[in-house]
Amino acid sequence: ELDTISEKAASKGGGSDDGGSRILVFVRLRPISRKEREAGARCCVKIVDGRDVYLTEFATENDYLRLKRLRGRHFTFDASFPDTATQHDVYSTTTAELVEAVLQGRNGSVFCYGATGAGKTYTMLGTIENPGVMVLAIKDLFSKIRQRSYDGNHVVHLSYLEVYNETVRDLLSPGRPLVLREDKQGIVAAGLTQYRAYSTDEVMALLQQGNLNRTTEPTRCNETSSRSHAILQVVIEYHVKDSSNNIVNRIGKLSLIDLAGSERALATDQRTLRSLEGANINKSLLALSSCINALVEGKKHIPYRNSKLTQLLKDSLGGACNTVMIANISPSNLSFGETQNTLHWADRAKEIRTKAYDAHEEMQMPDSETDQAKLLLELQKENR
Ligand code: ADP
Ligand code: MG
């Protein structure tokens, strides 16, 4: 039974004829906020046909029409969500298929990417009234398990962790930083809480509490630092009988990631890049960009080792897994530059084709400052 479903899911989900599966990239526009309106902001983004994103500093209906005719500054994604989209719309289009695949023992990851205030945490965590992708995914997972698991053998574990300034912390059990270790299973955070979940009810409270444990900026208490990455990992373990009646264990892992604000890590020009070499560099976000670039270019060596975030996501990015990027943007013309950067980045991420590969084939490189310097040079060259 499970195997039949698995085959169906494999042929339907992300898989394509060249043996790889493309990364899916989505854009979500959030509603204009009261603060933005009070500051005299105008809307500079328009979503057309649920796919196309038009960006203009002059936001009249005529401008959009003209831009469309001129095929001007416009981007197309797998789907683009207007500010009226519900949390459910976003979940079912972006993540529902990944949950299905994870139940068949595959890995998958969903990233929210964008500037601070663009709606990443709202999309991932949401509120009690409007729970986001993290909560809806777990809810869906349990309902699917209930529908299908006749022998009740699925076990679900949750881990929630933070990467802040290259330090990994357990958000479910705050304390000392965690050490990353490589073992046969891949990279593991030693001592990380694996919370056994039995139902959805407890999850929202657990995640909200975890979110409160995220690092806050020293100068602004209560406000989550724009440099904190939060990763929810949902691990599903189960066993099936194969054709010769042997019991086989399977594990599927879903990683849901609320990334740090991209405003300080995105280099699309020389000057920005130079400022990144200063103290404010977000190593993990830069390394993620670099891995994405390497994947886009089909490079054999993907520099996962350059940061804690990319180490943690090594088995969930590229390779034989499904990856979803949700680029969050504000409609305000006051955020025009950030929105443009985010859209350019998302446009590039679209080019990734992940290929089924043997992880052991991958060349291992030392994790060093030299690597970091090389990475910056590569980025500099690219932006020249
Ligand atoms: P980020 O995590 O990217 O810094 P947030 O998710 O915290 O941004 O969003 C900033 C503000 O905008 C929050 O008050 C949030 O509730 C609100 N917001 C974001 N996206 C939406 C949306 N789609 N609908 C309604 N409110 C939203
Ligand atoms: Mg946030």
Asked if residue 277 has pLDDT above 80, the reply is no
Q: Is 60 annotated as a binding residue?
A: no
pLDDT digits (tens, 9 = 90+) for 113-129: 999 999 999 999 999 99
To test ligand 1's pocket by mutation, which of 91, 122, 129, 263 has the most ligand atoms within 8 angstroms of CB? 122
Contacts with 327 (C-beta within 8 Å, 6 or more apart), sequence order: 25, 26, 27, 28, 77, 113, 114, 342, 343, 345, 346
Label residue 264 by pLDDT band (50, 70, 90). Answer: low
Q: Which residue has the higher pLDDT, 16 or 317?
A: 317
Mean per-residue pLDDT, 43-55: 90
In the three-class reduction of DSSP (H, G, I as helix; E, B as strand; rest coil), residue 173 is classed as: coil
Label residue 276 by pLDDT band (50, 70, 90). Answer: low
Mean per-residue pLDDT, 326-349: 91
What's the CA-to-centroid distance between 186 and ligand 1, angstroms?
34
Label residue 377 by pLDDT band (50, 70, 90). Answer: low
Asked if residue 88 has pLDDT above 60, the reply is yes
| Ligand 1 atom showing the smallest separation from residue 85 Cα | 23
Label residue 322 by pLDDT band (50, 70, 90). Answer: confident
User: What is the largest distance, in Å, between two alpha-carbon atoms of the chain?
Assistant: 69
| Ligand 1 atom showing the smallest separation from residue 226 Cα | 4
Q: Is 137 annotated as a binding residue?
A: no
What's the CA-to-centroid distance between 226 and ligand 1, angstroms?
13
Lowest mean per-residue pLDDT among 70-79, 205-214, 371-380:
371-380
Asked if residue 110 has pLDDT above 50, the reply is yes
| Ligand 1 atom showing the smallest separation from residue 33 Cα | 12
What's the CA-to-centroid distance between 31 and ligand 1, angstroms?
9
Average pLDDT, the chain: 80
Alpha-carbon radius of gyration of the chain: 21
pLDDT given for residue 359 in this prediction:
36
Asked if residue 28 has pLDDT above 90, the reply is yes
Q: Is 323 annotated as a binding residue?
A: no
Mean per-residue pLDDT, 290-307: 85
Main-chain phi, psi angles of 53, to 5 degrees:
-120, 120
Structure tokens at 277: 């070499």
Asked if residue 226 has pLDDT above 60, the reply is yes
| Ligand 1 atom showing the smallest separation from residue 127 Cα | 16
- Whose atoms come closest to the Cα of 132: which ligand? 1
Lowest mean per-residue pLDDT among 12-26, 260-274, 312-326, 357-371:
357-371
pLDDT given for residue 241 in this prediction:
85
Ligand 1, atom 19, residue with closest C-alpha: 119
Query: How many alpha carbons lie under 13 Å from residue 50 in its C-beta half-sphere?
Result: 5
Q: Is 114 annotated as a binding residue?
A: yes
Asked if residue 384 has pLDDT above 60, the reply is no
Report whether 171 contacts 161 (CB < 8 A): yes
As for ligand 1, residues whose beta carbon falls within 6 Å of it are: 30-31, 33, 114, 116-122, 328
pLDDT given for residue 232 in this prediction:
97
Mean per-residue pLDDT, 93-117: 93
The residues facing 159 across adjacent strands are: 233
pLDDT given for residue 10 in this prediction:
40
Mean per-residue pLDDT, 236-240: 90
CA 127, 130, 133, 136 dihedral sign is positive
Helices (H), the chain: 2-12, 34-38, 61-70, 87-94, 96-102, 120-124, 133-148, 201-212, 270-276, 283-296, 308-312, 336-349, 369-383
pLDDT given for residue 72 in this prediction:
46
Label residue 58 by pLDDT band (50, 70, 90). Answer: low
What's the CA-to-centroid distance between 116 and ligand 2, angstroms?
7
Ligand 1, atom 18, residue with closest C-alpha: 119
Ligand 1, atom 5, residue with closest C-alpha: 119
Could you give the C-alpha distances from 211 to 121, 154, 201, 218, 340, in angstroms and in order?
A: 9, 27, 17, 16, 28
To test ligand 1's pocket by mutation, which of 27, 30, 256 has the most ligand atoms within 8 angstroms of CB? 30
pLDDT digits (tens, 9 = 90+) for 348-362: 888 876 543 333 333
Could you give the C-alpha distances from 380 to 6, 176, 276, 337, 344, in angstroms and in order?
A: 43, 36, 11, 19, 16
pLDDT given for residue 165 in this prediction:
86
The three-point CA angle 378-379-381 to 5° equals 65
What's the CA-to-centroid distance between 258 and ligand 2, angstroms?
7
Percent of the chain with pLDDT over 90: 45
pLDDT given for residue 258 in this prediction:
96
pLDDT given for residue 201 in this prediction:
82
- Whose atoms come closest to the Cα of 216: which ligand? 2
| Ligand 1 atom showing the smallest separation from residue 122 Cα | 6
CA 369, 374, 378, 383 dihedral sign is positive
Mean per-residue pLDDT, 98-109: 91
pLDDT given for residue 383 in this prediction:
40
What's the CA-to-centroid distance between 117 and ligand 2, angstroms?
7
Q: Which residue has the higher pLDDT, 317 or 5?
A: 317
